[in-house]
Structure 1
Amino acid sequence: MAEIGRDGERLEDHEVRWRDRQALLESKGYMLRSRLHPEWVPSWTTTPRNPTACEDFEPLPLRPDLVDATRIVDNQLVYVKRVATGGEELKIAQFLNREVVRNDSHNHSVPVLEVFQDDEDPAISYLVMPFLRLMDDPPFSHVNDVLEFVDQTLEGLVFMHSQGVAHRDCARKNLMMDSSAIYPKGYHPVQLDYTPDFTARAPMIPRLGVWPPVKYYFVDYGISVRAPTGEQALVIGDLGIDQEVPELSRTVLYDPFKVDVFIIGNVFKKELCEKYTNLDFLKPLAETMTAKRPEGRPDAEDVLKQWYHLRAGISFMGRGGVLRPTNAQGSPPIIFDIIAFLRLGILLSRRMMAWTLHWLKLTCRD
């Protein structure tokens, strides 16, 4: 049952559970928002501000096992996830973050910053990760944004499969990005369009204007499996966000690696090809990846090879083009092309300047 906090403010059940672990998290170096502190008094009761303008008015989103926090030592925003101690989700996340592969540029598994057990229930552990945003939040704006996303997603899938791991749930909500470079002044963990102090809109830089490019990650290994090297993995089960995968079954064994190919292909199809009119180059690959019969789909490595071939045929101007939404009204294609040309020059200048500064720092360090 939900609990009524001081001055009548309501904390939901999932908030109460995290509030009761606030002291533990603080002792480990992570601070929850003031709303989740045991001694919390709603700020709007001591100031004349409207409650909706107060940072602590925003409730924790209903994701019972997930909470945002700030790492005390460097003020970095993180996610803390409640997981089963010794469970497969934790084992796979740690396996993909072991020292020998952690810094591999093709490894796009969400970084594991720390793991620690609950101080009251040893069956519960806490997995600390960087705070990430959905792959398309903010939305893609240029063709090059899509190219970067497809590059990293397929490279990450090939890497994951090379480690014997099949994700099984790599749909849009489990493909996220580190947006720290896009939001240089940060943002609020609940109201993502606002600054951390909730006083203004968070300033944003387009993806094309930052260097190095934003990085995309696979998250949530809740139903993932790991096959020993050289062994084939066959599974059963119909769980997962994408229920369009044809072979999902509670009784008939299927190949989870081919499921991953379908799910990523469906992301390309539904979230990219169907939303923008100038991504026709991606459609053949998406169709191949979402073949109804698993044996008709290429494996992840072949998908990546096909993608590199397709990508090579995209011109420089094409890469800098502004994405054209399928529901756009009024502006003819030539307008998008003019905007693309002007913005491309500005954004590439910013990226070149950022790269030069980065190079100078490295040179001075040496």
Structure 2
Amino acid sequence: MSDEEDPSVYLQHLHNREILWRDKQVFLQSKGYMLRSRYRPNWVPSWLTSGRHPFRSEDGIELPLAGHLIDAIRVADGKMVYIKRIEAGNFREASLATALYADPLRQDPMNHTVPIYEVFSDPEAPDVSYMVMPFLRYPDDPPFESVGEVMEFVDQVLEGLVFMHDQGVAHRDCALANIMMDASRMYPDSFHPVHLDHAPDGFIRARRRPRSRAGVKYYFIDYGISSVFGPGQSGKLVTGVLGRDQDAPELSDVTPYDPFAVDVFLIGNMLRTTFLEIYSNTEFLKLLILRATHPTPSDRPTARDLLRLWVRERRHISFLDKAWRLQKRDELAVVSVARDCLSMLGSVFSYAGSFAR
């Protein structure tokens, strides 16, 4: 086996994206953030002395391809965070994110913009800064399991959209990939930042609580193409076709359009593709989605009116329906019956437990 094929050899060598962070480890530690052992100066691979295979060694776990991000531990409280490297051209995004989470806005319960703990400059590179935020993961990892979990997601996403629009901010890229969740309460013993289903050692299966019991919070991220308008500003129109979801019919590089109406469309379209098309028992979202994705932008509700509509619709969903498992549309009948029986038992015990408490 050549050195290029032998993990005990090639995993000793850091990629360029990893070297960049290793070289900043001492600086980041001075700011109160500790990187994993792989990225510390004078790191010696543990497998050279432990006898364990490098694939079974935590310091053999490489940094993912997104080299502008790295996980770290905040020394003050042991909390896992993300540190994002920002270059001069992206300072606007960082400024907007910071402003949306500044006091007193951060106290607003409808604020679901990503928390920004701090932003600091690189003393050796004036055009580089570092933005620290909670360690977040995609909202469908782990997958949604019950109707109630979907309802809670819709609650928070619509609240967050209303909040941003009230601040004059049109996100313009409200895809599922730009909504993240803080899952720390689901994992009482924490989890590994790369091997997300595993404990901090990277290999033992992490203990996980259902999100419906743990409680999670969802956040909008990535304001790279967002538009900001001042109070009372007229002509709140934009052009441009950037963004993950290209289905909004009015998107154009030439003809100006209302970016707030596009946000409403994008949220409706995300709910359709993420839930309504996948699960048979999410029909309660149909009216919301139909209104939000109306082909005529002026006929769509505002974000606030969409939230009001949702509040009315969710009242019709019973306690037992909320506790019911999500049923995939392509699920085999015999599988569905068996899973429904288990779900019914769980719902009954949960319902009885609510009275016992």
Name the counterpart of 2:128: 124
1:234 and 1:64, CA in 2 relative to 1: closer, same or farther beyond 3 A? Answer: farther
Aligned mates of 2:25, 2:350 — CA distance in 1: 42
Aligned mates of 2:118, 2:8 — CA distance in 1: 33
TM-fit CA distance, 1:351: 7.9
- Alpha-carbon displacement from aligned partner over 1:304-323 (angstroms, at most 9, x marks no partner): 11111111111111111111
- Alpha-carbon displacement from aligned partner over 1:322-341 (angstroms, at most 9, x marks no partner): 11012322436554443233
Would the aligned equivalents of 1:71 and 1:78 in 2 still touch at CA under 8 Å? yes
Which stretch shows the higher mean deviation, 249-258 or 280-289? 249-258
Name the counterpart of 2:216: 214
SS in 2 for 1:244: coil
Aligned mates of 1:91, 1:265 — CA distance in 2: 28
SS in 2 for 1:46: helix
Sequence identity (%):
47
Name the counterpart of 1:224: 226
Name the counterpart of 1:262: 265
State whether structure 2 residue 173 is matched by structure 1 residue 169: yes
SS in 2 for 1:148: helix
State whether structure 2 residue 121 is matched by structure 1 residue 112: no
Aligned mates of 2:194, 2:126 — CA distance in 1: 29
TM-fit CA distance, 1:237: 2.0
TM-fit CA distance, 1:7: 4.7
Name the counterpart of 1:276: 279
Structure 1 alignment gaps of length 5 or more? 357-366
Aligned mates of 2:305, 2:263 — CA distance in 1: 13
The aligned amino acid for 1:99 is: D
1:279-358 equivalences under 5 Å are 279-331=282-334, 333-347=336-350
Match of 1:33 among 32, 36, 55: 36
Would the aligned equivalents of 1:83 and 1:89 in 2 still touch at CA under 8 Å? no
1:209 and 1:242, CA in 2 relative to 1: closer, same or farther beyond 3 A? Answer: same
Would the aligned equivalents of 1:209 and 1:348 in 2 still touch at CA under 8 Å? no
Name the counterpart of 2:57: 54
Aligned mates of 2:309, 2:249 — CA distance in 1: 23
SS in 1 for 2:218: strand
Structure 2 alignment gaps of length 5 or more? 1-6
Which stretch shows the higher mean deviation, 338-347 or 68-77? 338-347
Work out the number of aligned pairs and report it. 348
Q: Tell me the TM-score normalized by structure 1.
A: 0.89
State whether structure 2 residue 204 is matched by structure 1 residue 200: yes
State whether structure 2 residue 76 is matched by structure 1 residue 73: yes
SS in 2 for 1:260: helix
Name the counterpart of 1:363: none
Would the aligned equivalents of 2:137 and 2:183 in 1 still touch at CA under 8 Å? yes
Aligned mates of 1:215, 1:343 — CA distance in 2: 24
State whether structure 2 residue 242 is matched by structure 1 residue 249: no
Aligned mates of 1:215, 1:48 — CA distance in 2: 41
1:348 and 1:112, CA in 2 relative to 1: closer, same or farther beyond 3 A? Answer: farther
Would the aligned equivalents of 1:208 and 1:348 in 2 still touch at CA under 8 Å? no
Match of 1:240 among 237, 240, 243: 243
SS in 1 for 2:126: coil
SS in 2 for 1:338: helix
TM-fit CA distance, 1:349: 7.3
State whether structure 2 residue 17 is matched by structure 1 residue 14: yes
SS in 1 for 2:52: coil
Would the aligned equivalents of 1:7 and 1:41 in 2 still touch at CA under 8 Å? no
1:172-183 equivalences under 5 Å are 172-183=176-187
Name the counterpart of 2:150: 146
1:199 and 1:348, CA in 2 relative to 1: closer, same or farther beyond 3 A? Answer: farther
SS in 1 for 2:114: coil
1:355-366 equivalences under 5 Å are none
Would the aligned equivalents of 2:8 and 2:54 in 1 still touch at CA under 8 Å? no
The two structures, once aligned, show a CA RMSD in angstroms of 2.2
TM-fit CA distance, 1:346: 4.5
SS in 2 for 1:129: strand
Q: Tell me the TM-score normalized by structure 2.
A: 0.91
TM-fit CA distance, 1:264: 1.1
Which stretch shows the higher mean deviation, 102-111 or 223-232? 223-232
Aligned mates of 1:322, 1:243 — CA distance in 2: 31
TM-fit CA distance, 1:64: 2.6
Aligned mates of 1:321, 1:303 — CA distance in 2: 25
1:252 and 1:120, CA in 2 relative to 1: closer, same or farther beyond 3 A? Answer: farther
Aligned mates of 2:115, 2:169 — CA distance in 1: 16
- Alpha-carbon displacement from aligned partner over 1:96-129 (angstroms, at most 9, x marks no partner): 1111111211100111111111111222211100
TM-fit CA distance, 1:204: 0.8
Aligned mates of 1:79, 1:130 — CA distance in 2: 6
